[in-house]
Amino acid sequence: MPTIYDVAREAGVSAATVSRVLNGARTVDPAMVARVLTAVRELGYRPNAVARNLRRNRTTLWAVIISDIGNPFFTATVRGIEDVAQQAGYSVVLCNSDEDPAKEETYVAAALSEQMAGVIIASAGSVKAARSLLDSPIPVVAIDRELPRGTVDTVVVDNEAGARTATEHLVAAGYRWIACITGPEGVSTADLRLRGYAAALPGEPVVVRTDFREQGGYRAMSSLLASSERPDAVFVANNLMTVGALRCLADHRVDVPREMGLVGFDEIPWADLVRPSLTTVTQPTYELGRMAARL
């Protein structure tokens, strides 16, 4: 492998000059910069990242900790993060907490021990992980969900208003016994969307809490169908649970929307293929990721 001294010899400059060019110093003559970069390219030189990180006392990596890699919401979000990171000279390490607070704590501990340049996190609800991040000098941005018991830069939509609008849509369509399937207590998106649903409801709330997964949505809808006072419509607080709820209705041959109204939250890629098309509250997922990365 070529060394910094090989590059210096090829470019006709000192090794110190090569080092200054590679570290982005603005005091180097532009002609020298051009010669160094040409030599780097021709020789295929790669700086020693470990040594450089030791000098800087940090890496050029961001940890992006998301709660469910299988959720299409996060696909576009991470793409927005990565596009901004690459333009700024950073690389992204993607970590999937799998909606598991213990796994989230493991990833946060790894990000801190590896001295990541920054952390973007969609929290699975771990207070311990949030406290560790807040006590560290590493820049942190929360996305989609607020950090429990902590205050950091946070990129979210107005979840309460979105859920209220979704429920009002069902009320306007003539449904009267509207239930809500939402996520675990203590997760901001679950709690805020439940609050928005309750604010728009003309009657008593009917709430089923489950995980944010497809199977959780299926189980929740099954329990509602088995209820003695079965609702005539349901607001479902995320996309994967909406898929599970819709699958359950199909398995029980319940016609949507004639027998059961359904509105989801978050974009579902095939929502417009259902006839009639499935109503959802969409979020600007890519822009959410870009904003988090810029912060």
DSSP string covering 101-161, please?
HHHHHHHHHHHHHTT-SEEEE---S-HHHHHHHHTSSS-EEEESSPPTT---EEE---HHH
d(CA 173, CA 125): 35
Question: Which pLDDT belongs to residue 54?
Answer: 46
Is 148:123 a contact under the CB 8 Å cutoff? yes
pTM value surpassing 0.85: no
Instruction: Name every residue whose Cβ is closer than 8 Å to that of residue 271 and which is 6 or more positions away in sequence.
Output: 264, 277, 278, 279, 280
Tokens in use for 153?
């830069």
Question: Which pLDDT belongs to residue 130?
Answer: 92
pLDDT in tens, 34-46: 888 899 888 888 7
Residues of the chain with pLDDT under 50: 54
Question: Which pLDDT belongs to residue 23?
Answer: 74
Reduce the secondary structure of 8-73 to three states and give it as a string. Answer: HHHHCCCHHHHHHHHCCCCCCCHHHHHHHHHHHHHHCCCCCHHHHHHHHCCCCEEEEEECCCCCHH
Expressed in angstroms, the distance from the first to the final Cα of the chain is 37
Question: Which pLDDT belongs to residue 53?
Answer: 53
pLDDT in tens, 51-89: 555 455 557 899 999 988 888 889 889 999 999 999 888
Question: Which pLDDT belongs to residue 71?
Answer: 86
Q: Which helix (H) or strand (E) holds 196?
A: helix 188-200
